[in-house]
Amino acid sequence: MHSTVFLNGEWLAAAAAKVSVYDRGFLFADGIYEVVPVYQRRPFLMADHLARMERSLAALNITAPGADYWQAVITELLARNQLDDALVYIQITRGAEANRSHIPTSAMSATLFASLSPLNVHWHQPAPLAVTLLDDIRWLRCDIKSISLLGNIMLKQQAHNSGFAEPLLQRDGYITEGASCNFFAVRDGVVYTAPKSHLILPGITRDHTLELARELGLEVREEAFAVADLAQLDELFLTSSSREVQPIDRIDAMIIGNGECGPVTAQLVAAYHASKRKLCEIS
């Protein structure tokens, strides 16, 4: 995490930033967050990220400043920290009261926080990773980008402890997503991914990858693929703001395709890099 952060209208050293122990984010995970990648000080797909943030806030009925406010905060945050490539983290909670109560007993101002993490930008085709199939134990409103991430953390830790990069989550025999990513499958040249619903987070990188796939002339189906069909997949990859398009070569002991980055995934990796250059005007 970099040195200067934004908290409730103030610019502070990270170590000096404090919130009340009665903040509802701390007590109840009553809040949301958003992560925006930045390349050469140009936020990538920022309008989409901020629109998703607004949807999450609306779902929790939290009132907070809009897109123009956060665009200015992000610009200043990058300038103060002198970072060109970064991940911007925004967290908004309902705020703090003077006591702990499940139902707010008074009006309060939202707690507004933003910070930066350095982003190691890559322009190559990443090496494939291995994932593990786990039951999706999370709550039923995964479409809200909530700061309540205990289920995600438990699943990610379980995968990590077993030597895997990510969990591949299934519910009722169908793949939902990962603990911090969306998954895509390729079979007979068709690209599949779980449809938007309360069971998955509507990933901004997911949506952008679907757009790129259609521009490449690939057939896309927003249909959840079954656990029973995993052995028949030709390719598997995940998407997220930090990993972008990441090929997967193995699910537990099951090798996907030939165990290498498949041709469809490779096309999408290259298209994603091209879109970064174009949209962020990187020469």
Per-residue pLDDT at 1 exceeds 70 = no
CATH number of 4-118: 3.30.470.10
pLDDT of the residue at 70: 97
pLDDT of the residue at 278: 85
Number of H helices and E strands in the chain, helices first, is: 6, 15
pLDDT of the residue at 283: 45
Q: Are strands 129-135 and 244-251 parallel, antiparallel or unpaired?
A: parallel
| DSSP-assigned beta bridge partners for residue 183 | 238
Each residue of 109-157: pLDDT tens digit?
999 999 999 999 999 999 999 999 999 999 999 999 999 999 999 999 9
pLDDT band at residue 98, thresholds of 50, 70 and 90? confident
In the chain, where are the structural domains located? Answer: 4-118, 129-280
Q: Which of 66-75, 98-107, 155-164 has the lowest mean pLDDT?
A: 98-107
Selected from 3.90.70.10, 1.10.645.10, 3.30.420.40, 3.20.10.10, the CATH number assigned to the domain covering 129-280 reads: 3.20.10.10
Q: Return the SS3 of 59.
A: helix
d(CA 175, CA 193): 9
Mean of pLDDT over the chain: 96
pLDDT of the residue at 106: 85
> Exposed, middle or buried by CB within 10 Å (0-12, 13-18, 19+), for 267?
middle
pLDDT of the residue at 3: 87
Instruction: Enumerate the active-site residues.
Output: 145
Q: Are strands 86-93 and 174-175 parallel, antiparallel or unpaired?
A: unpaired
Per-residue pLDDT at 29 exceeds 70 = yes
pLDDT of the residue at 186: 98
Phi-psi region at 154: left, alpha or beta (left = phi > 0; alpha = psi -120 to 50): alpha
**CA nearest neighbour of 35 among 16, 20, 48:** 48
Q: What is the mean pLDDT of residues 223-246?
A: 97
pLDDT band at residue 78, thresholds of 50, 70 and 90? very high
